[in-house]
Amino acid sequence: MAAEGKMDPMHQFAISPIGGGELTASPFQFTNSSLWMMIVLVAIIAFMWGGTRRQLVPGRWQAAVEGLTGFVGGIATQSIGAEGRRYLPWIFTAFVFILFSNWIGAMPLAITGAHPFTVTSQFTITGFMSILSFAIVLGVGFWKHGLHFFSLFVPHGAPLPVKLFVAPIEFVSFLVRPFSLGLRPFVAMFAGHVLLEVFGNFVVQGLNAGSALGWFISALCFVFLIFVNALELLVGGIQAYVFALLTSLYIKDAVHLH
């Protein structure tokens, strides 16, 4: 959005109440972020419900749902082992939510008058999901191993001086994991959307220039926009996969320690 003729690529990330007005601290205020989270939820429910028919010869929809559940189930069992199915509900939920949020936010719905809001471009969302993942990691670790869980930070079989040196580094690295886990999808979506906004503005400015050079720059930027939008869809899928994979690996550390 532009203000006084100047482009503001950060405006697309602003959280604002539906229907206008000022944003307050009230928990009952319905915002654009809340609206698009509900849209993502409805899309997920519709997609999963459409694949629950259990036909002997599955249709495309059922095959897609079964393929998705099998793919995420494979991530959990290959990373954690036989116990991976126990943690599959959260891993699958995180994967599907990030995937649908990223893809719906990247859809060119603005041509219909809608202004999609990518909820994963807000660190409060991805950060909260990473905190939930590590709450599971800590809960599983202490439940299965008690205080022996702290041996995760000590290299097995290393001399005592090495243990004293490495253990604090491993502990700090473990504390950084929740931050980095939530930061990856946030940064990927944030940067991609800023890039789309900037080059979209170049297209408009080139057309408004009314010259042959302006039209050429607009066409060039439009082709680049198509490429970046396709890349956004790819990155959105990769980030969902990375979040699910890292969550599975962190849970594996808590289950099996070394």
pLDDT digits (tens, 9 = 90+) for 47-62: 988 777 776 667 788 8
Q: Which of 258, 202, 200, 248 is nearest to 80 (CA)?
A: 248
pLDDT above 50: residue 1 = no
CA separation for the pair 122, 31 (Å, rounded): 13
Distance, in Å, from the CA atom of 96 to the CA atom of 255, rounded to the nearest integer, reads 24
Rounded Cα gap, residues 67 and 59, in angstroms: 12
- Give the up-direction half-sphere exposure of residue 183: CA atoms within 13 A in the CB hemisphere: 5
pTM of the model: 0.86
Residue 244 has pLDDT above 90, yes or no: yes
pLDDT above 90 (res 99): yes
Report yes or no on 3 lying in a domain.
no
Structure tokens at 184: 């990856």
- In terms of residue numbers, what domain contains 230? 32-256
User: Is residue 4 in a domain?
Assistant: no
Partner residues linked to 7 by β-bridges: 2
And the tokens for 36?
Answer: 């698009």
Task: Classify residue 163: in a domain, yes or no.
Answer: yes
Residue 27 lies in a domain: no
How do residues 2-49 score in pLDDT, each as one tens digit?
Answer: 444 466 666 777 777 777 666 666 667 788 888 889 999 999 999 988
How many structural domains comprise the chain?
1
The DSSP string of 116-147 is ---GGGSHHHHHHHHHHHHHHHHHHHHHHHGG
8 domain-assigned: no
Has residue 187 been placed in a domain?
A: yes
- Model pLDDT, residue 2: 45
Residue 11 lies in a domain: no
- 68 in a structural domain: yes
DSSP, collapsed to helix, strand or coil, labels residue 59 as: coil
pLDDT band at 139 (very low <50, low <70, confident <90, very high): very high
pLDDT in tens, 59-88: 788 888 888 999 999 999 999 988 888 999
One-character DSSP codes across 7-55: E-TTGGG---BTTSS---S-TT--BHHHHHHHHHHHHHHHHHHHT----
